[in-house]
Structure 1
């Protein structure tokens, strides 16, 4: 699973990348602290999943995710934040998950399992639609 990380905190990005590297079948293809630069890099790299904070400098993570989803409708979004109050808004946007910092390894592993199941279900659905057509 190809992942991209977006968070203003460079120290958190390094730590979270190490956490993800410990999870089998994940490849961090990039990270960005500046949401405007992420708008350029994410579509070019076409990751499967973007992990991002809700609170970003100059732009909300939810607004950023909406823009990214316009360019990459199959993209899965997982929020990683200290801000509990945006969870409902994130799930209304169809976020795959909402993780609270600091992210515990077991909770991250459950999130990755959820992402895998969602991807498998999506692939299965597309295959069944192709068979019907």
Structure 2
């Protein structure tokens, strides 16, 4: 009886690699058939795509819609600006002020950096 149990265990372990290969092949065959069905039956493309592809496609559509809405808003603003020249003048002045402010910030950063390097050099000389 002991020998029979031992031989059954050995048979089980000897058959495991073959069983694993068989199961992987069956799974691959299933996936191949599913992909072929998507191509030949021309099922909806979304059903066949992996989730990340679906998300990317959905994201692209949302971005396209957002761009379209932005263009519509810009067109509406341009029409409004064209109808009101004072608004156009205010916007031009606002853009000039923003540019000037950016230049001031850049110059102040440069001065702070040069002041810090001088402080480091002065500290080294002492």
Name the TM-score, length of structure 1 as normaliser: 0.23
Greater relative CO (CA pairs within 8 A, separation 6+): 1
Structure ranking higher in strand proportion: 1
Higher fraction of helix: 2
Per the normalisation by structure 2, the TM-score is 0.24
